[in-house]
Structure 1
Amino acid sequence: MLILYILLIIMFLIAFMLIKTRDKIYGYNQKKDYCYDFKNPKYFDLSSPIDLKEYTNNQTLILKLEIKSTFFSKLFAPYVNIYSQEKTEKTFFEHSAKGVRYIDISSFVGGYKIILSSKNCKIVSNKVEIFDFENLDIKNKKVLIISPHADDAEIASFGLYSDAKESLIVTVTAGETVSNDYVLADNNRDKSRLKGKLRVHDALTIGMLGNVSYENSIALGYFNETIKNMYKNQDNIISSKTSEISDINYFRMVNHSKIQTNPLASSKWDSLVSDFVHIINSTKIDFIVTLHPQIDSNTDHQYITLALLEAMEELACKDIKLLTSTNHLTQNEIYPYGDIFSTQALVPRFDTTFIFKDIYSHQLSKKKQIYKFYALESMHDLREPLIHIGFIRVFRAALKSLRRFINGKEKSYYRRSVRTNEIFYVTDYKELKKAYKDIK
């Protein structure tokens, strides 16, 4: 009996520690309302099935509801199940979440008898609001994807770029900063060069899994974690931090493509802006996909988008729409929340707003989700490397995954990125430029 009591005490202490840990992982108060100022809602009552037959043009539909978590949400993530006669989708929230949230129900457009149920939380009121946004008709558009590093295009927009009429992927940096995963090289310089070469190869080829031809993918060869420094020191050549290289042509791969780039490229800010000017001029695209500087914390992402905006300003672009997203949410590295193959909800938005005009949610079939998974798995920098070399590496990889699963800090891009949808914030480039008043 004493052993049983001891085991119960240990389990209680572990549960207490997990609850405390999960209260801190989000970087904000999970019990605050999300604040989006959407206009012209339509009102529905969850006491009976929702009829969405009036929405017939594949619009993006965002449902606003209020939730309150149960005690079990402190340990198990709360979520809402959305049912129709054809399918079920889950949307997850934060542990201990409470308040107004916005979920994507776009895949249920045109359906009827839509039912919501909840797990580890309660829907506070049956009165909900639905907002609809313009259908962007991606399948008939030409899209330019700005990928700061190899894998950013796939994480944010594999489904979108594989469904567009034509897509072009521009990977800006070589991503060569040293990591301990490239242990077969002899020293940090060689590790860095090997890593950069492998990631450039990934950037040029993996898009083919999403119907992007080799000729439509280029790598500009700028150096990892240097873009902000290029902006701050615009008269200087900024060298790689780890590869002992200052000439971006070492990693640059553009000659195989008809996409025009800066013929005198160097590791300087005006060169990057000029690259974007040449690219936009030569491609005649409808949409540009990039990372949003106010909701993505990576400085390369923020300043590459700034260079893009300066190029668009120079060209006085009028008819090109920006589709922005985040791969590294500013508050934490675990958004989107919940399981792989679930539905991505809108990012947390509170008193500090971020700039955008509309929402576009691109829907991924199960087949498309599977292809996205294997596109990510093909990236050298995302999969667990060299675990086949020895038992110790296998054990360490398993232990790391288990620890992250238990404490709720699972950062896996497979879990975060392979979803039923990809959400983009449609933004005007002139308005987005204003975001940099705070970032600088």
Structure 2
Amino acid sequence: MKKLDYQYALKPDWQSDARLEKQTTDNQSNIVNLTLSDNTGFAELNPEQYTWLLSFTYQSTHKKKSGSVCVILENNEQNTVNHRQYFEAGETGTRYLNLSGLLADYQTLSQWQLVYDHCLLMPDATLLGFKKPDIHHGPILIIAPHADDAELAAYGVYSDFSDQVWITTINAGQNVQSLDRQYITGLDDNLKDAVSRKAKIRAWNSMTTPLLAGVKFERLSSLGYFNLTKNTFYNASEKQQNDSVCPELTPAISRALNTMTLPNDESNISSGKRLVDDLASLLDQIKPTSVFVTDPEIDPHPKHIMSAHALALAIQQSGHIPDRVFMYVNHLRKIKKFPYGPEHARTALPPWYESTSKFGHYSCYSHQLTLKTQKEKVVSFDSMHDLRSKPRIQKMLKAWWHKKVLKSGYQFYGYHHYFQTHIKANEVFTFVDGKTFSDSLLQKE
């Protein structure tokens, strides 16, 4: 059994020791009661105004089957997938159960029970409460490193707040590994044409998919940068970057549909400085109170790390500092199955193993998605060319095996693994204030 504790630099606004005790003395029972040490303190709160995470010690009891924990509500409902959260097979250690959106009042909690399968829950636990940020007021800017990153991480957020959301996509996403990896096989017979076409398609994806959720077209922008890394900001910010396959490629290829005017529209150069200028201009024009961007500590994708640093520099350059910066994770080191479990299950923070952070401490926000919104999110994925994975025989067999033989609850809406991992009942973020985000990243450089 592999021991691995999830650790985070979390700073809850409220917490209490808790106990997970079996309902009966029957060793065969897989039901525990959840009780709190600080009942009085909890009773004084409005649970709906908080994100709730239960920190507990998890122990898998199966080498291959994922452990799961499900909340039983007052009506004994326990089979609804959006009340269940899944964890690693063959592992033990500290885990976090997302209870957000399920706490109506203290009386409900006093009757709360958890059902667990293919795992054991140790008695000692801690309930952590994080005051929900007020994102209802003021503009929201979502920064997507690539077309589809905003949908993967925050479709529910931008759907629920569509009348105040702005989305900008940084990278052209033009890379084509080979001609047989085109979106449409055999469409282009040379790599240069394929690269140019892919850049146009991904810009079109980023500028049209949010319309499904009601985001206004004039609030969308595609910036078309390429070949930028974190180091380009600090070591070669003025240097023009060229695509190795298509040297004549410029950001203009991605900006054809933009209605917003940005500083690099005329110079049309892919460089670190130009990107920071554009983001600073967006901050000044939109004046967002909330900004969403990729987590530069946990998400290992170089373009995602670059995007966070670009935002930090833009905040420093801009005259506007957002109230808060939310961080999301779409990639993990050596992990492709998180969030675990079938579509529509619950999820919490991504696996991480450090109790300290360059941001000092951060808070947590869980955004609940209705089943209707989750299904709309499926449609948004299908509208993205990069997520239209081909139905290879191995994937078709896996889908058949899970649905017909294992009856595991997977729907397999699409053949790309994101259709399973990112169609969940929650979208979960960490966040800090805008000044802390910018200062913390830049002081380390």
User: Is residue 209–residue 383 contact of structure 2 (8 Å, CA) maintained in 1?
Assistant: yes
Pair 1:364 & 2:337 matched: no
How far is 1:302 from its partner?
A: 0.6
How far is 1:338 from its partner?
A: 2.1
How far is 1:185 from its partner?
A: 1.5
Query: Aligned equivalents of 2:276 and 2:92: distance in 1?
Result: 44
What CA deviation, in whole Å up to 9, does each residue of 1:40-75 have, x standing for no partner?
A: 4123333445697743443111111111111x2x11
**2:116 partner SS:** strand
**1:124 partner SS:** strand
Q: Pairwise CA RMSD of aligned residues?
A: 2.9
**TM-score, structure 2 length as denominator?**
0.81
Unaligned runs of 5+ in 1: 1-22, 24-28, 388-393
Deviates more, 1:202-211 or 1:85-94: 85-94
Query: Which residue number in structure 2 is paired with residue 226 of structure 1?
Result: 228
**2:387 partner SS:** coil
Query: Which residue number in structure 2 is paired with residue 124 of structure 1?
Result: 122
What CA deviation, in whole Å up to 9, does each residue of 1:4-55 have, x standing for no partner?
A: xxxxxxxxxxxxxxxxxxx9xxxxx553353555454123333445697743
Query: Which residue number in structure 1 is paired with residue 384 of structure 2?
Result: 379
User: Is residue 274–residue 311 contact of structure 1 (8 Å, CA) maintained in 2?
Assistant: yes
Pair 1:98 & 2:103 matched: no
Pair 1:168 & 2:166 matched: yes
Query: Which residue number in structure 2 is paired with residue 8 of structure 1?
Result: none
Query: Which residue number in structure 1 is paired with residue 410 of structure 2?
Result: none
C-alpha spacing 1:176/1:66, structure 2 compared with 1 (3 Å): same
Matched ranges for 1:179-328 at <5 A? 179=177, 180-182=181-183, 183=185, 184-223=187-226, 225-228=227-230, 230-231=232-233, 232-253=235-256, 255-257=258-260, 260-263=262-265, 264-315=267-318, 317-328=320-331
C-alpha spacing 1:327/1:230, structure 2 compared with 1 (3 Å): same
**1:195 alignment partner AA:** K
How far is 1:395 from its partner?
A: 3.1
How far is 1:298 from its partner?
A: 0.7
User: Is residue 72–residue 114 contact of structure 2 (8 Å, CA) maintained in 1?
Assistant: yes
**TM-score, structure 1 length as denominator?**
0.82
How far is 1:110 from its partner?
A: 1.3
Query: Aligned equivalents of 2:401 and 2:263: distance in 1?
Result: 45
**1:226 alignment partner AA:** L
Query: Which residue number in structure 1 is paired with residue 409 of structure 2?
Result: none
Unaligned runs of 5+ in 2: 22-32, 407-414
How far is 1:415 from its partner?
A: 1.3
Query: Which residue number in structure 2 is paired with residue 345 of structure 1?
Result: 348
User: Is residue 384–residue 397 contact of structure 1 (8 Å, CA) maintained in 2?
Assistant: no
Query: Which residue number in structure 2 is paired with residue 45 of structure 1?
Result: 19
How far is 1:399 from its partner?
A: 5.9
C-alpha spacing 1:90/1:411, structure 2 compared with 1 (3 Å): farther
How far is 1:413 from its partner?
A: 0.9
How far is 1:79 from its partner?
A: 1.3
**2:378 alignment partner AA:** F
How far is 1:341 from its partner?
A: 1.0
**2:90 alignment partner AA:** S
Query: Aligned equivalents of 1:49 and 1:351: distance in 2?
Result: 27
What CA deviation, in whole Å up to 9, does each residue of 1:96-145 have, x standing for no partner?
A: 221211121111121513321111101111x4221111222434442100
Query: Which residue number in structure 1 is paired with residue 49 of structure 2?
Result: 58
Query: Aligned equivalents of 1:214 and 1:290: distance in 2?
Result: 20
| Percent of residue pairs bearing the same amino acid type | 26
Query: Aligned equivalents of 1:293 and 1:206: distance in 2?
Result: 25
Query: Which residue number in structure 2 is paired with residue 31 of structure 1?
Result: 4
Query: Which residue number in structure 2 is paired with residue 417 of structure 1?
Result: 422
C-alpha spacing 1:401/1:197, structure 2 compared with 1 (3 Å): farther
C-alpha spacing 1:328/1:123, structure 2 compared with 1 (3 Å): same
Query: Aligned equivalents of 2:11 and 2:90: distance in 1?
Result: 25
Query: Aligned equivalents of 1:277 and 1:268: distance in 2?
Result: 14
Query: Which residue number in structure 2 is paired with residue 333 of structure 1?
Result: 336
How far is 1:251 from its partner?
A: 2.2
Query: Which residue number in structure 1 is paired with residue 147 of structure 2?
Result: 150
**1:221 partner SS:** strand
Deviates more, 1:160-169 or 1:283-292: 160-169
User: Is residue 389–residue 416 contact of structure 2 (8 Å, CA) maintained in 1?
Assistant: no
C-alpha spacing 1:192/1:108, structure 2 compared with 1 (3 Å): same
**1:369 partner SS:** helix
